[in-house]
Every structure is written in structure tokens, then in C-alpha cells.
Structure 1
Amino acid sequence: MDRSRNLVFLWDNFGPTHADRCQAVTESLGDRAKIVGLELLGRSSTYDWDPEKGAGFQKVTLFPSVGDDKPRPSAPARLGRMLKFWLKQPRSTWFVCHYDWIDIFLFSLFLRMTGVKIYTLIDSKFDDKKRFFWNEFIKRIFLAPYRGGISCEGRAADYLRFLGLKEERIVPAYDTLSTERIRTLSGAEPAPGGVPFDARHFTIIARLVPKKNISMALKAFAAYCEKARIRRKLVICGSGPLEDDLRREALELGISEDVEFRGFVQTEAIARVLSSSLALILPSTEEQFGLVVVEALAMGVPAVVSDRCGARDSLVRSGVNGFVVEPDNPAGLAWFLVQLSDHQELWNDFAIAAFSASDRGDVKNFVESVRTLAFEQQ
């Protein structure tokens, strides 16, 4: 057994899902290589999640003090630390996120020039935003160092092909997590068991920023409240600059007593919230994937998502385990909410189908993608 070879997974900062992936790879492939999780920063600039310790794999942080009154390191500083780290273990295969950062590009180009196998981790889609020719041309250059990548089924994989990666070296299942971890943290039986149907609420788990489209969801929920036989609560987990505006809008719509803003919550609390949810709502105008959909399905919770959500390509089947709606269609979203809220037999069928679909979002699929690129392809 030769474990002198390393598999290195690089993200800017580790959250629970990143740790899930590295731990699962260690459990499955640790007898073939040493698994290293490399994070650039000790704190995320986007999420306020608790730092991950890296149980089950070696975790290295290049700038552990970021966030403790220290500014974000510059691109040259990050590049220098990455090169120093590489010098200690040159026999490595790399899986790297953030291909569009200049320091990541230069580091990846260096690795490729020295013969290192390097793959990108990416879930972007062409329809995420308006695209411009020169931007896409530059992206093709920034992706040139990579032999292939781990992406997602459907539009994300199509986008990588458009950007020049070879089809046979694009594998799915990037956006995965441990469904077992979610169920354990919830402390409850997945739907349709567990919390009774009549006691469940709708749930939004998202940052309170414009692209998450929470305002549209509030309008839809207000319309639902006027039409539904059972008037349920809407629980919103997340923080962001729009919180005051959304609270004000809920008051103006007359639903402030029905909407509960819980702020940012850690992954354990998310699992508990989902265990009592009737359905997850994700109405984003831009959403590369939507990992919260996997968390919801793990608890048997149907998902109502916008057609911009990447998770709909592989996980959500409209009319089976959830619904797909246009992000500018509050009336349509309200109708879907009424159907799930007022028809228990329909919801039971959706919940069973949701739980069955969760296996497609489990981290074991990420492990198989890593195995394919690192050990099976030459």
C-alpha cells in the first residue's frame, strides 16, 4: 500500500459540506492515498458557520487568523502560501475550487506545468447570469490548466463543456453532503413520519440577499394565506442586508405574525428545522445548485424551487417530489404551497419520493467522481 501520494482538496474556507466530502473520501480511498483538506482562510466571508476541525482527514489552514481583526490576505500572499504548501508534498493530485481567482489560476498553471494532475470543482451554469463573449473567453483561459472537473449533472456539466473541458473528464456529483449526518443531527424521523402533517411549517434557508428572491416568496406566502385551508407558518433561516426590508414587507403584506425570522443558524439547527418542515422554498433568481435541497430531501421534505436552481436538474422532479416555478411567478408558487398544505395524501407521496431521491445527493457520489478522476483515468 503506497500512501505517499496525496489527494488535496482546496476551498477558500471549510463548511460542513466540505468536511463531509473530505471525510467520505478518506473513509473510502484513504488506503490508497493520504487525504488533505486545504482551506485558504480560517473564516468565511460569506457564511458565519462554525470552523470545521477536519475529523477523519488532515485539514490545513493557510491563513487561520483571518477574521480576528486581520484583513483578507492579498492574492500574492495566498499564492506564496500555496506554493510553500506544495513544496512539502509534490506527489499530489489536486481538486481545486475558485478557478477564476488570479492566484488560483497562477498556482494551477504552475502545477500543470510541473506535471501535477489537477481538476476543478465547479457548479456554475451558463444561465446563472448574463454572459459576455470576452468574459467567457477569459474563463476558457483560466480553465486551461485543468485536466477535467467535478461538476453537477445537466446545465453545469454542459457549461464546462462549453468552456473547453473534455466531456469524458467531466464527472457529476460535486454538490453533495452526508445525508446520514443531516438525519442524525435532526434527531427525528424523516417525513412523512415524525412531526404530524398539520404541525409542519414552510421553510426558507438562504442568505437574505437580492438573488435569493425572498421578497417574491413573501408575496406568494401572503397569497397562500388567503387561499389555504390550513394556515401555516413560514420559517426563514438566514441573515443578510435585506433582513429589515423583508421584515417590513411581511408587515405590509399582513403576514408578519405568520413569518418567523430566525437569523443565521448552524447546520445542526438547520437539520432540526427541516425535521418539522412541510416543504422547502428556494425561489432564487440565481442559484448555481442549492445544497439545502439535498438537506431537505434527506429529511423527506419536498422542495419547491425556481427553474434557476441547479439542483432541479438531478434532484427535483416537478409533480413527484417537489415543484419547479419561475422566479417571477408568485401566483404559481402560492398555488404549489396550497396543494402541499391542503392535501395530505399528495404531500405523503411527495415526501416518500423526496426521501428516495436524497440518495442522489449523498456524498458517496462525490467519492465515486474522485475515484474516477484520480485512479481510473490516465
Structure 2
Amino acid sequence: MSAIAFVWDNYGPMHVDRCQAVASGRAEPVIGIEFFSKSSVYDWKTESGAAFEKVTLFSGGGWKDTGAWAMAKGIVSVCRARDARHVFLCHYEQPGIFLAAILLRLLGRRVFAMGCSKFDDQPRKAWREALKSLFFLPYHGAISSGIRSADYMRFLGIPAGMVATEYNTLSIERIRRLSGKAVAPEGTAFAERHFTIIARLVPKKNLFMALDAYAHYRERTAQPRPLHICGSGPLEADLRTRIAELGLQELVILRGFIQTAEISSVLGDTLAMLLPSIEEQFGNVVIEAQAMGVPVILSDNCGARDRLIRGGVNGFIIEPDNPEGLAYFMALLDGDETLWRRFAEAAAARSVRGDVANFLGAVSALMN
């Protein structure tokens, strides 16, 4: 029987979730192909799953250290050896991926792109978008995330009927199991919950604005809840300096990078998660938060808001340059348990939209 192959640079928990879902929901064998044994972006532990076979092409290195031909040859060799007739590829912009997509199509395979970029992620230039559309020519279709991402895939040349959703998905069951805590509004008491940010400490996450918003929130509140920031990155020293300048050392806790199980546990104690990013293709942490029934306050730049967040129902949507607005919504949820419980119930109910069952559905829609 022919196989299905999924290609990512490195396999973290989210990639395993998706392959496991497809392997469990379809008859074909599933092959997971990763380029590198370690992620160049995240400090997660690379993972495998019992339901699919994972192949690592290179033990180390990164995009700049590995030639395009070596990448393409590695992908094609695995797909031919495992008789993968349907191949789903991420990182379309990499020359090695582009070359692999062309070769696989010439060999009679059906190739599909995976991604969550949106037109509004950054300023666009016509010549660059025209060039980018050439990279999509080998693909039969694509899996995207949400309304804006699907529109962007169509803009780049994928036929409307061959763009499926949802790409950004996680196992809701896994997150809840790892947490070991009840889904909100049950579990940790309302009064004992804190605010949480889960993000890399990089400029696009807009963390200095979040600190300013927290300072405004503290001024509004007699007993402010702590803010836990989970993540690592180059801005850590500058963030510590800003926290000290605002006098927030006793209230803002930098926890560093934590693995998935601990993230799930932290979310089990969270009142609301904050994601005020300037640029955010999607935001998988929104799925993790909703899995635990946690309302989310996020910027309108985040792709996750398209399908997962309903303003005033299970979260709030803000502008990324509006710390006063973020502070207002923080104080609102902090001071009204009835409102928070209603939001938490709505967040948990909508979490099914981020479950890996939707990725399986997208794969099946493109294959059928």
C-alpha cells in the first residue's frame, strides 16, 4: 500500500500530533520526514509517535549548512523507498523543498504545501509576491489555517478548491492529559489563577507592550494577579531591565523555556493567556489555552483569531499598539468571576476547532 509523507524541519509535539492523527484515521502508512534532529528555533525535545515511522535526514546543522540538492535528494529517496504517493511539504520557500516538490511531481507523486502565512503578516511587494508564486507551481494543493491564510494560498496560485483547512492543530486530549488538571472553569480556583504569556522572547511577540499593559492593569487593581512569561530568546535581558524599571519584579515571573507538559500544567492555573503579537502567522498557544478552557486576549494580527476567538464570547481582540485596551480586558476578567466562567466554558467548547481531527480532515479532503 502506498504511504503518506509529511516533511518538516524538525518534529516537535505538534508535528507528532498531526502524523498520529492521520495514521490513526487512514489506512495508508504514514512517514514523518524531518531534516534536522534539533530545532533551530525551539528548545523542545524532538519526538516520535507509535503510529507512524519517523525518518531524520541530517543529525545536525541547519538550513544554511545543508545544500538544496542534499535536502531534495533526501526527501525523494525516502518517498521512493517507502512508496509515498502523497507528500505534504512545509517550508515551500526553501530551495531544497522547491526542488523536491518538482522532482516528486515529475515522478508522479501528488505534492501539497503546508503553511499558515497571511498577506497581512508584513508589508508585501508585488515583485516579491510574483516570485513567491513560482514556488507554488509544483503543488497540487495546500493545507492552510483560517480565512486569511487560505486567501493568501489562493492569491499565490493554489486553486480555491484545493486549499483545505486546518493546518495548525494539536491533540486536545494530549494537552489535557499532560496537564493533570481539570479544564476551566473547574480545577484551580478563580482567585488563585494568574495571567500567562507563552512566547519566544523576540520582537514580534510585542512583550514590551505587554509589560506596559500589565503596569496599567496593576494601577487598576488592588490585588493584581501575577504574570507568568514562559519562553526564551534574545530579549530576556532587556525584558528584565524593563520589568525592574516598572517595579514589577515581584509580580512578573520569567520562567524560561518549558516543555509541553509543564506548559499544559501552567495553563491549568491560568486566568487568561495574552498574545499581543505584532506579527503572528497563527499562534498554536491559543489552541493549548482553549484546550484547558483558558480565555485568550490577543491582537488582531494573530491568525488564530479567525476560527478560534470570538470577541466578547471566549476572549478579547485588541490592537497590538493598545496597552490600555489590553489592561482593560485583563482587569475585566480579573474582577468578574461570572464573566470569566462564561468565557472559560466557551473557550473549552470551541477548542475542538483546533484539534488534530481537523488536520486529518484536511489531508483526506485533498487526497480524495
The 2-side partners of 1:87 and 1:300 are apart by 43
The 2-side partners of 1:86 and 1:25 are apart by 17
The 2-side partners of 1:79 and 1:111 are apart by 9
1:18 aligns with 2:11: no
Cα distance change on mapping 1:71 and 1:99 into 2, 3 Å: closer
2:269 matched residue in structure 1? 276
The 1-side partners of 2:158 and 2:71 are apart by 26
1:218 matched residue in structure 2? 211
1:190 aligns with 2:183: yes
1:360 aligns with 2:353: yes
Q: Which amino acid aligns with 1:325?
A: I
Query: What secondary structure, in the 3-state scheme, does the structure 2 residue paired with 1:215 have?
Result: helix
Alpha-carbon distance, 1:86 to partner: 3.0
The 2-side partners of 1:198 and 1:230 are apart by 10
TM-score by length of 1: 0.95
For the Cα contact (< 8 Å) 2:184–2:293, is it kept in 1? Answer: yes
Q: Of 38, 45, 52, which residue of structure 2 is paired with 1:43? A: 38
For the Cα contact (< 8 Å) 2:67–2:96, is it kept in 1? Answer: no
Alpha-carbon distance, 1:84 to partner: 2.5
Alpha-carbon distance, 1:135 to partner: 1.0
1:111 aligns with 2:108: no
Q: Of 159, 164, 188, which residue of structure 1 is paired with 2:152? A: 159
The 2-side partners of 1:194 and 1:54 are apart by 30
1:316 matched residue in structure 2? 309
Q: Of 28, 52, 56, which residue of structure 1 is paired with 2:51? A: 56
For the Cα contact (< 8 Å) 1:230–1:341, is it kept in 2? Answer: no
1:99 matched residue in structure 2? 92
The 1-side partners of 2:197 and 2:260 are apart by 14
Cα distance change on mapping 1:91 and 1:23 into 2, 3 Å: closer
Alpha-carbon distance, 1:82 to partner: 2.1
Alpha-carbon distance, 1:129 to partner: 0.3
Alpha-carbon distance, 1:254 to partner: 1.2
The 2-side partners of 1:357 and 1:87 are apart by 40
Query: What secondary structure, in the 3-state scheme, does the structure 1 residue paired with 2:51 have?
Result: coil
Q: Of 157, 170, 174, which residue of structure 2 is paired with 1:177? A: 170
Query: What secondary structure, in the 3-state scheme, does the structure 2 residue paired with 1:93 have?
Result: strand
1:28 matched residue in structure 2? 25
Alpha-carbon distance, 1:91 to partner: 4.4
Q: Of 251, 259, 263, which residue of structure 2 is paired with 1:258? A: 251
Q: Which amino acid aligns with 1:48?
A: D
1:130 matched residue in structure 2? 123
The 1-side partners of 2:115 and 2:84 are apart by 23
The 2-side partners of 1:79 and 1:96 are apart by 11
Alignment: residue pair count: 368
Alpha-carbon distance, 1:103 to partner: 0.8
The 2-side partners of 1:278 and 1:122 are apart by 30
Listed one character per residue, the Cα deviations across residues 123-175 of structure 1 (whole Å, up to 9, x for unaligned) are 00000001011110111100011111110121000111111111111011100
1:335 aligns with 2:319: no
For the Cα contact (< 8 Å) 1:194–1:275, is it kept in 2? Answer: yes
For the Cα contact (< 8 Å) 2:5–2:79, is it kept in 1? Answer: no
Query: What secondary structure, in the 3-state scheme, does the structure 2 residue paired with 1:154 have?
Result: helix
1:7 aligns with 2:21: no
The 1-side partners of 2:16 and 2:363 are apart by 15
For the Cα contact (< 8 Å) 1:203–1:235, is it kept in 2? Answer: yes
For the Cα contact (< 8 Å) 1:229–1:342, is it kept in 2? Answer: no
Listed one character per residue, the Cα deviations across residues 296-319 of structure 1 (whole Å, up to 9, x for unaligned) are 000000000000000000000110
1:208 aligns with 2:212: no
Q: Which runs of 4+ in 1 moved over 4 A?
A: none
For the Cα contact (< 8 Å) 1:22–1:35, is it kept in 2? Answer: yes
Alpha-carbon distance, 1:78 to partner: 1.7
Q: Which amino acid aligns with 2:276?
A: P
Q: Which amino acid aligns with 1:113?
A: L
The 2-side partners of 1:160 and 1:53 are apart by 29
For the Cα contact (< 8 Å) 1:211–1:285, is it kept in 2? Answer: yes
For the Cα contact (< 8 Å) 1:323–1:336, is it kept in 2? Answer: yes
TM-score by length of 2: 0.98
Alpha-carbon distance, 1:66 to partner: 4.0
Structure 2: segments with no counterpart, 5+ residues: none
The 2-side partners of 1:72 and 1:15 are apart by 21
For the Cα contact (< 8 Å) 2:5–2:84, is it kept in 1? Answer: no
The 1-side partners of 2:325 and 2:42 are apart by 31
Query: What secondary structure, in the 3-state scheme, does the structure 2 residue paired with 1:217 have?
Result: helix
The two structures, once aligned, show a CA RMSD in angstroms of 1.3
Q: Which amino acid aligns with 2:99?
A: L
2:70 matched residue in structure 1? 77
Q: Which amino acid aligns with 2:261?
A: E
1:242 aligns with 2:235: yes
